[in-house]
Structure 1
């Protein structure tokens, strides 16, 4: 059944989850390498001072956490924005046969409008930029969870919060 405002049947929750896992692997592997490089460059290891015998602390761990959060957040936002702007699909969505379209929009080969793709990517991954702040990072994690779970009880369009802000839905294309 196609709900009002949807040009095609809505994607199932599990299709969206598998697509996000595929995208997570695609962006996660290079990110692990970047994280290792940032950590190796910025963090000095803990150990013992040979002269005094006193344990020394790690330094640069906070700076590494900030840099990693900022780089990862920017990379995730850029990936989501560029892919949706180009064709309305990330690699995971292509593999799962689903596409992001504006509510009441069409299924043409063009991507999402720039402002729509920016809103969607910003709400979805923007909180990642704040993960380095101790309490705020915890709240950002809760928001991220509620954001993606929202589609499970949202009726009739099964929109996550990032879909609501951008006025988009995810539909099946094959």
Structure 2
């Protein structure tokens, strides 16, 4: 423990705030004198009874929450029933004043307007993989060239002549079987009807069947060519295929082919048409010939 701080004569002694002897009497000691003994400690005063003096507020023990209970209600004043708070009243939102500033102008569009998303786009490739890819907006892509068309027609003439010969052989055999070895009576009638069909109708019917069902002839199948609609690359209808066959059908017995000015002009017309390479029978039926690559 630190001793008390003594001051010189005539000055009041100073006691630091942290002096452990705070509250004791400080005696000034001069030279040659001894400090008096410290005073004897006083006995504490007798404690007052609880009934005589009320305890201070800070001395009262805190209530135990385990034994806390609701205060008893007076019988004269029963507890008021619980009432819901009043519903708040909301004021309507004030009207929004129009903006004094004008709407910003639309940004300018540069270049040509773009087509909307999802619109069909023309085929941009250099070849066609399926005939439906041919687009009239880009007609030069996928068109069959002149050499391919001439070669396909050569195969068609050869196969049509072969089929015509086989049909005539079958008709002759049936006629002989009907007449018992003689072409008389019903046998002769059947043979004449078969000959007229083979000479005049077979080339047209055969060409119509190939284009309407297979969408191409046997010669075009060999070279990978297709006959499609000129307005969208779809399948050619039966009516268009019949009109196309009436204007031109390969076969040495077809009467249309015997008219040389028409037949030659019809076949060679696609050399003049640089955009779609259509012959006259293609223009009449609204068709084009395209080539696909697998």
**Structure 1 pair 4/92, CA: closer, same or farther in 2 (3 Å)?**
same
**Structure 1 pair 8/69, CA: closer, same or farther in 2 (3 Å)?**
farther
**Match of residue 27 from structure 1:** 160
**Match of residue 162 from structure 1:** 281
Aligned residue-pair number: 142
- Describe the superposition over 1:135-154 as per-residue Cα deviations: whole angstroms up to 9, x where unpaired: xx86x122111100000111
**Candidates 116, 124, 139, aligned match of 2:248:** 124
Asked if the contact 2:139–2:275 (Cα under 8 Å) also holds between the matched residues in 1, the reply is: no
> In terms of Rg, which structure is larger?
2
Q: Provide the C-alpha distance between the structure 2 equivalents of 1:161 and 1:25, rounded to a whole number of angstroms.
A: 22
Q: Secondary structure at 1:163's aligned position in 2?
A: helix
**Candidates 144, 149, 155, aligned match of 1:11:** 144
**Structure 1 pair 7/156, CA: closer, same or farther in 2 (3 Å)?**
closer
> Unaligned regions of 5+ residues in structure 2, if any?
1-125, 127-134, 176-191
**Structure 1 pair 166/103, CA: closer, same or farther in 2 (3 Å)?**
same
**Structure 1 pair 89/129, CA: closer, same or farther in 2 (3 Å)?**
closer
1:17-166 superposed matches below 5 A: 17-32=150-165, 71-106=198-233, 111-125=235-249, 129-130=254-255, 140-166=259-285
Q: Secondary structure at 2:162's aligned position in 1?
A: helix
**Structure 1 pair 30/86, CA: closer, same or farther in 2 (3 Å)?**
closer
Which has more helix, going by share of residues?
1
Asked if the contact 1:69–1:130 (Cα under 8 Å) also holds between the matched residues in 2, the reply is: no
Q: Secondary structure at 1:151's aligned position in 2?
A: helix
Shift, 1:31, TM fit: 2.4
Q: CA RMSD in A?
A: 3.4
**Structure 1 pair 68/147, CA: closer, same or farther in 2 (3 Å)?**
farther
Asked if the contact 1:77–1:122 (Cα under 8 Å) also holds between the matched residues in 2, the reply is: yes
> Unaligned regions of 5+ residues in structure 1, if any?
42-63, 132-136
**Structure 1 pair 21/104, CA: closer, same or farther in 2 (3 Å)?**
same
Q: Provide the C-alpha distance between the structure 2 equivalents of 1:6 and 1:88, rounded to a whole number of angstroms.
A: 19
How does the TM-score come out when normalised to structure 1? 0.66
